[in-house]
Chains A and B, each alone.
Chain A
Amino acid sequence: MNHRSTALWLLLTFVLLYSKIFGESGDRAFYDAVRAEASGDLQLARSIYEELAKNQHSANLHANLANLYFKLEDYGRSILHFRKSLLLNPENRESISNLSFAMEMSGVKKAESLKTNPAFSATAQFIWASCFTILLWGGFLLIALLVPRRLNSTTLTGYTLLWAGTLSFLAWGWQESREQFNFLRREVISVAIKSDGKNAPVPLRRFAGKGSNYNTMVNPGTSLFLDLDRSGNPRMHQGPDGEKWFLARSKDGANKGWITELEFGKIIEL
C-alpha cells in the first residue's frame, strides 16, 4: 500500500467518524430535550432544541420546538418553527394542522405562500431547472447529430416545435417556482420580543429607530417580506447601538415598516 492509498483511507475514516459522532451527538441532545419536555421542564427542553438548531436541523426537531413554543404560548415562534419543519417535510399533516391552529390562536391569516401548488414550490425549482437543462442540451445534441441525416423538413419542423414547446413549458414552470423561491428567501415571520410579552404585537416603525412611532402593528407569526437592495441583499440599516433594522412589508405591500432583527425569524438561511 503506497502513501497515497494510506492518506485516502485515513481521510475516509475521519469523515465517517466525524459524521457518526456528529449525528450521535445530535440524536443524544434531541433525546435529552424530549426527556426534559416529558419531565415538564419546558424551558430546558426549549434551550436544548434551540442550541441544537444552531448547527443542524430536522423536521421533527423544528416540529417539537414549535410545539414547545405553542405550549409556552409563544405563538409567533411556534409558527416560525412549524414553517421550518414543513419546509423540510412538506407532507407532515400534523404539522400542517398544528400550524393552522397556531395561526388561528395568534390571530394570523393564512399566508399565500402556504397555499401554493407543491409543483411550483420553491423547493421544486431545482427539478424544473434540471429538466430544462437536460432537454435544452439534449435537443441541441440531437439536432447536431440528426439534422444532416434523413429527416425531411416536415418531421424536422414537428420535432423542433415539440422540443420548443416543452422547453417553454419547463421555462414557465421554472419561472413560477423561482417566483416562490424569491418570495420564500425574503419571507420572515414576525415574533414578539420577550420583554414586550409573549404575544405582544410587533410594530412596523416608520423609521429605523426605537423612538420612532409605527405605521401599523402585526400579530406575532405574521408573514413579512424583506425589501431587497440593488445587490439583492435585504435592505438594512445599522443603528448607532449596533442594532440592525430591516424594512419589511406584508405580501400585498399594504403594511410596511422597519423592524429589528430580533423581531423576526427567517424561514430559510440566505
Chain B
Amino acid sequence: METLFEPATITLSNSSIYKIIIHGSQESPVGSVPSVSGLQFSKTPRTFRSASFINGIPAVRFELSFEVKPQREGTFKLPAWNLRVGKQTCQAPSTTLRVLPPSQRDKVRQAEQKKRNQDLSEAAYLDFSITRPYMFEGETMEGQVSLNIWNRLPVTRIDRIPTKTGDGFSITELGQPVEKRNVPKNGKNYNSYNWKFGITAALPGIQSISFSSVLRVRVKQNRNSPLGNPFFSDPFFGFGSEEGLEVGSDPLTVEVRSLPTDSRPKGFAGAIGIFTLASAIDKDRVSLGDPVRLTCKIKGKGNFSAMPAPTVSLGEDFKVGPPAFSFDGSTSTLHQGVQSFEYVITPLRPGLLEIPPIPVSFFNPDNEVYTSLTSSPHPLRVDPGEKWMEPSSVEVSQSDEKSTSSANNMFQTESEPGEWVSSISIEDPLSSKMFWGAQAVGLLLFLSVLFFRLKNRNPLMEELKLKDRVLSNKLRETVKHKDRAGFYKSLRRRIRLRASMVCPGANPSALSNKELLALLKARGYSQNLLDEISKLLQICEDHEYAGGVKNTDSLESELSRSQSIIRKLK
C-alpha cells in the first residue's frame, strides 16, 4: 500500500489529489481518512481498479482518490492510518502536502471566480419582506417572497418553491405565484414570481428567517467551457443537460416581542390584529326545541388561523352546540377577511328570551393595547310548541321582570274596533226556528210534489209509457243483434204507440198509415214531421211484408234517426 498527494506542492487557490494505492487486491477498503486541520477532503472518493501482467506475472491494484482543498498556507502531514482490505488490516503510510501562498495568477482567477459568483447570485435570487421589523408572539402578518430570475438564464422549471428556514415562525402554504415578466433590476431584466403568505411568530426573541428555492437550469455538458460557469453557457439545440441551482434569500432578523401582560382582559384568547365584531340569528321566533343559528362574525386583519371561537355562555335558558368555523377572505394568507363562528343554540324554555352579547378581546399590535368588543343582544321569542315543558314557578319568578318588559312589545293594542256584534253566541241549529222552518218548507215541497203527481196519475198513460220504454229497449237490442226485421217491426209498433199516446182515445193500431197520418195532422203536427213518419212507416212495412228490401243504411244510424223523429211526437 502506498499513499501520496498529487501534486505534493500546490498554491492556496488550487487543489490536490490524495491517492491511496492498494496492490494485490481489488476489494474496496474500509476505513476513514484522518482529518487534518487546514485541509478539506472530498467526501466521495473516485475509485480505479486495474489488472495487468508484469513480466508474465498477473498484477491487480485498487486506487482511491480524494480531492483535497487547502484552507490556509503551510505544510500538512497526513499521519499513517489503518484501513481494512478484506480480512486484512493494512496501514496507509504518512504523506505530506505543501501549500504555498497564492500566485498572481491565482489571485486573478479568484477575482474572476468571485465575479462569476456575484453574477450567479444576481442571475437568480430570492427577496423576502414583511411589513414590520418586529412582531408579537402569536401575531400573523402578511409576508411576501419573490423569486427573481434573470430572463437570460435558461431555467426550465422551478424545482422547489421557496421553503422557509427558521423555527421561530410558521407560514401558510404557498400557492400559485403571481408572475411578472421583464422587471428591470440591477441593470438586467428579470422574470419575477411573487408568493404572498401569512407569517406567524411562534417563539419570542430575536429570530432569523430565510427562504431557499431550487431551479432547474439547462447547461452545456462540457464543463471545460471557455465561458467558465456552465450556467452562462448558452445551450444550443438541446445538447445541454439540466442541473439544479439552489437560490436563497438573505436571512432576515425579526424581533418577536411577548404580549404585554398589563391590562390584559380576562376573556383574551390570543386574537391579535384589528377586528370588528357582529352577530346575527337566523330567526327571532321559534318553537321550543327548534334550533337557532347564531352567527358571530369577526372581520379585519389578524391571526385568524390561530383565533379560537369566542366563548358563548348563554345561561340555563339555552343549550349551545360546538361552533362551526368558516373563513371568507384571503385564503393564501389567512390574514385578512371575515371569520365566522356559527353556533347552533337550542332554547330550553318558552318565553321571551334574550341571547346575551358575546364578548371578544384582542390585542391591537399597531397601538399595542388590548381592546374588548361585545356583540348586540338578540331577543328571541320561543313559543311553547306542541310539546313544551311546564315552566316551574322558580323560572317564572326569575324571568318575570324580563318577560313583562318584553311583553309590551308582544301584546300590541289594536287601534280600530273592527266589526261589532251584539253577542258572542253560537246558535244551536236544533233550537233555531229558521232550521225547523227550512225542514218544514222542504217537507212541504216534497209532499206537494208527491200529492201533485199522485193526483195527476193516469194508469193508461203510464201503461203506454211502460210499453214505450220496453219497445225502446227492444229496438236497442235488435240493433245490437243486427236483427233488421225485428228492428223495423218494433219501430213500427213504437211509432203507433207514440201516436196513441199523443192522441188519447184513438186506437192507432187499427188504423192504416194514411188514417194515422191524418190523425196526427189533425193534432197539429207539421207536414215535415208527417212526411218523415210516413217514410219510416213505409220502410217498416216494406221490411215486414215485402221482405228483401235492400237498405244499405246501418241500423245504428236508422235508430238515431227514428228516435229523433219519435221524440217530436209528444
Contacts and interface: CB of A to CB of B under 8 A. Distances in A.
Contact of B412 (A31, A67, A137): A67
A34 B417 CA distance: 10
A88 B413 contact: no
B449 A98 contact: no
A152 to B, nearest CB: 9
B463 interface: no
Nearest to A97: B383
Contacts of A30: 417
A10 interface: no
A60 B383 CA distance: 22
Contact of B407 (A57, A70, A125): A70
A87 B445 contact: no
Interface in B221-244: none
Contacts of B384: 100-101, 103-104, 110
A34 B391 contact: no
Contact of B429 (A73, A101, A129, A148): A129
A49 to B, nearest CB: 10
B396 A148 contact: no
B553 interface: no
A123 B427 CA distance: 9
B469 interface: yes
Interface stretch (B210-218, B262-270, B321-329, B436-444): B436-444
Contacts of A89: 418
Interface in A113-144: 122-123, 125-126, 129-130, 133, 136-138, 140-141, 144
A109 interface: yes
A222 to B, nearest CB: 13
Contact of A148 (B410, B413, B435, B453): B453
B53 interface: no
Nearest to A137: B442
B426 A184 contact: yes
- Interface size class on chain A is 35 or more
Given A133-B439, A137-B442, A137-B446, A57 B427 contact: no
Interface in B367-419: 383-384, 388, 390-391, 393, 396, 403-404, 407-408, 410-419
A26 B420 CA distance: 8
Interface string A54-80: 011111110110110011010000000
A103 B393 CA distance: 14
A70 B407 CA distance: 8
B403 A105 contact: yes
Nearest to A59: B418
B426 A105 contact: no
A57 B165 CA distance: 85
B427 A126 contact: yes
Contacts of B421: 56-58, 88
A64 B413 contact: yes
B413 A58 contact: no
Contacts of B417: 26-27, 30-31, 58, 60-61
Contact of A98 (B388, B410, B418, B422): B410
Interface in A223-240: none
A101 B383 contact: yes
A105 B396 contact: yes
Contact of B418 (A61, A109, A138, A269): A61
Given A37-B413, A56-B420, A67-B411, A148 B462 contact: yes
Interface string A190-205: 0000000000000000
A15 interface: no
B428 interface: yes
Contact of B449 (A31, A60, A87, A145): A145
Given A56-B421, A58-B420, A145-B449, A98 B429 contact: no
Nearest to B288: A104
A140 B444 CA distance: 11
B70 interface: no
Contact of A137 (B410, B443, B453): B443
A206 B415 CA distance: 45
Nearest to B388: A104
B88 interface: no
Interface in B330-385: 350-352, 383-384
A60 B410 CA distance: 15
B522 interface: no
B411 A133 contact: no
A263 B423 CA distance: 21
A23 interface: yes
Contacts of A31: 417
A210 B420 CA distance: 39
A165 interface: no
A186 interface: no
B425 interface: yes
A27 to B, nearest CB: 6
B424 interface: yes
Nearest to B403: A105
B450 interface: yes
A186 B532 CA distance: 75
Given A105-B403, A141-B449, A268-B424, A71 B411 contact: yes
Contacts of B439: 133, 137
Contacts of A141: 442, 445-446, 449
A68 to B, nearest CB: 8
A140 B411 CA distance: 53
A23 B420 contact: yes
A84 interface: yes
A67 B439 CA distance: 44
9 contacts: A34-B414, A60-B414, A60-B416, A61-B418, A67-B413, A71-B411, A101-B350, A133-B435, A270-B425
Interface of B: 350-352, 383-384, 388, 390-391, 393, 396, 403-404, 407-408, 410-429, 435, 438-439, 441-443, 445-446, 449-450, 453, 462, 469
Given A101-B350, A107-B390, A181-B428, 20 more contacts: A26-B420, A38-B413, A55-B422, A59-B419, A73-B404, A84-B424, A88-B424, A101-B384, A101-B410, A104-B351, A125-B429, A137-B439, A141-B445, A144-B450, A144-B453, A148-B453, A184-B426, A185-B428, A268-B425, A269-B424
The 4 residue pairs across chains A and B that have the minimum distance between CB atoms: A137-B442, A67-B411, A60-B414, A129-B429
